[in-house]
Amino acid sequence: MLTALYADKNGKIYDAPGYQAVGRSGDAVALLSESDMIPLPPSAELMFLPGRSAVAGQKGAIEPIARELFAVAAILPAGYTRTVLPAFAKLPDAPHLPLFGYTAVAFKNGKLLVAAVKSDDNAKWDPRRYNGSDLAHRVAEIKRDLPNNRIVDQLANCSQTWHCLTAQNLFYRRWEAGIPASPVCNANCYGCISLQPAECCPSPQSRIEFAPTAAEIAAVGVYHLSTAPEGIISFGQGCEGEPSLAFENISQAIRTIRSQTDRGLININTNAGFSVGIRSIADAGLDTMRVSMISAIPEVYQAYYRANYQLDAVAASIDYAKSRGIYVSINLLLFPGLNDTPDEIRAWQQFIVDHQIDMIQLRNLNVDPDDFWQFMDRPAATAVGVKTFIEALRQASPKLVVGSFSRYVRCVE
């Protein structure tokens, strides 16, 4: 039997012998199956859910263990995709949960298990490679090399305050380094990690309050790409809005960068809704584009992004990027009980084929599971499971790569 977990009022976590572990997909609560579970990955974290009583199965019923005993969830490291949400009984005074990807957990034979699959493996993003004791020294060194550059100052703060990995890569002089460029956005996503309304959950990081110049962008880009192994610079970071809105400065910066070095890749993480900006950036010399999407169904897409553009604009931006030989990935925001329904699966398969998508990058949507349904319509159909959904994506196209991490690759067609 998979045993349930709970936490006391001090956050100490216990197993509950005799109580079966349960999970949730959308709103449907059921006993967890061993086929749902894998060992808790290294670097995963456990946390209790305040204002939410732990629930479990016993004698054929699923009900709270006790009102004052709280539910427990896991937060997965990158490269793992959750398949089941944690189940709980929400109390009247429950606060909003912070923006994390809450995952069901269980206990068996002295080991912690989590409802997930391993979706990718990339040693570059191992947390043990980051937050080293030398980070402050490295930050000071690059501040000396690139003085009075506001992007460097922003990334230094992101590295040391928010522990952002792509920010730290600039200072470690390796791999993918983020370059925030836009303080504004053209969407209003509930799960935005840099800007939330005051009455909601706190954002896990703060958004930049300035618009970097083309010269500032180019200076950081040339510095990183000239020396970093498998170097990538990425626009569209967690600490900014939509980068394509800063297309004039980004396009000019890309041309400056490419006049000084042909090393590495230039990437944009984008909602791709502002096609004018995407076309300009693509023409300047973009190599790869990762597009954030939660659904390939227009109405579902719009319900989450609440944007001033439509999904058709996203598709047009992707088609233009593909025509320019750009490698296009979809940053798929995954929520069990939504994406893995039959209508969603059919829409995703069609979208992948119609727009020649090169890669799907699976991302656990960081959101309070109950708040999510306050602005999203519940699907009428029953979910078929995240594992089935992932397999259906793979079947859409023989060339499609399904994983979690960006690839150091240019599209060759």
Residue 305 lies in a domain: yes
pLDDT tens column, 237-268: 878 889 999 999 999 999 999 999 999 999 99
pLDDT tens column, 1-40: 899 999 999 999 999 999 999 999 998 999 999 999 999 9
Residues 270 and 221 grouped into a single domain: yes
Residues 45 and 151 grouped into a single domain: no
Residues 107 and 151 grouped into a single domain: no
Residues 208 and 320 grouped into a single domain: yes
Q: Predicted confidence band at 123 (pLDDT cuts at 50, 70, 90)?
A: confident
User: Which amino acid is located at 4 in the chain?
Assistant: A
* Domain boundary residue, one of 90, 118, 146: 118
**Residue 41, token pair as written in the block:** 């990955």
* Domain boundary residue, one of 101, 118, 135: 118
How many domains are there within the chain? 2
**How far, in Å, CA of 204 to CA of 202, rounded?**
6
CB-CB contact of 163 with 131 (8 Å): yes
State the pLDDT at residue 198.
47
**How far, in Å, CA of 160 to CA of 175, rounded?**
18
Find the CATH number of the domain harbouring 177: 3.20.20.70
State the pLDDT at residue 59.
86
With residue 120 as reference, give the H or E element that holds it: none
For residues 377-384, give the mean pLDDT: 92
Residues 165 and 190 grouped into a single domain: yes
**How far, in Å, CA of 82 to CA of 175, rounded?**
26
Residue 413 lies in a domain: no
State the pLDDT at residue 203.
55
> What beta strand segments (E) does 181-253 contain?
232-235
Residue 411 lies in a domain: no
For residues 350-375, give the mean pLDDT: 95
Q: Which of 166, 125, 80 is nearest to 364 (CA)?
A: 80
Residues 54 and 128 grouped into a single domain: no
For residues 403-407, give the mean pLDDT: 91
Residues 163 and 248 grouped into a single domain: yes
* Domain boundary residue, one of 66, 92, 118: 118
State the pLDDT at residue 250.
98
Residue 379 lies in a domain: yes
221 pLDDT above the threshold of 80: yes
pLDDT tens column, 153-207: 999 999 999 899 999 999 999 999 999 999 998 888 876 655 545 445 555 556 7
Residues 233 and 151 grouped into a single domain: yes
Q: What is the pLDDT of the chain when averaged over all its residues? A: 93
State the pLDDT at residue 368.
93
Residue 19 lies in a domain: yes
Please give the distance of CA 244 from its chain centroid, rounded to a whole number. Answer: 19
**pTM above threshold 0.75:** yes
pLDDT tens column, 299-332: 999 999 999 999 999 999 999 999 999 999 999 9
Q: Predicted confidence band at 106 (pLDDT cuts at 50, 70, 90)?
A: very high
Residues 38 and 183 grouped into a single domain: no
Category of 206 on φ-ψ map: left (φ > 0), alpha (ψ -120 to 50) or beta: beta
Residues 274 and 222 grouped into a single domain: yes
Residue 410 lies in a domain: no
**How far, in Å, CA of 293 to CA of 344, rounded?**
12
272 pLDDT above the threshold of 80: yes
Between CA 168 and CA 412, with CA 280 as vertex, the angle to 5 degrees is 75
413 pLDDT above the threshold of 80: no
Residues 247 and 365 grouped into a single domain: yes
Residue 375 lies in a domain: yes
* Full residue range of the structural domain in which residue 29 is found: 3-118
Residue 294 lies in a domain: yes
Residues 25 and 101 grouped into a single domain: yes
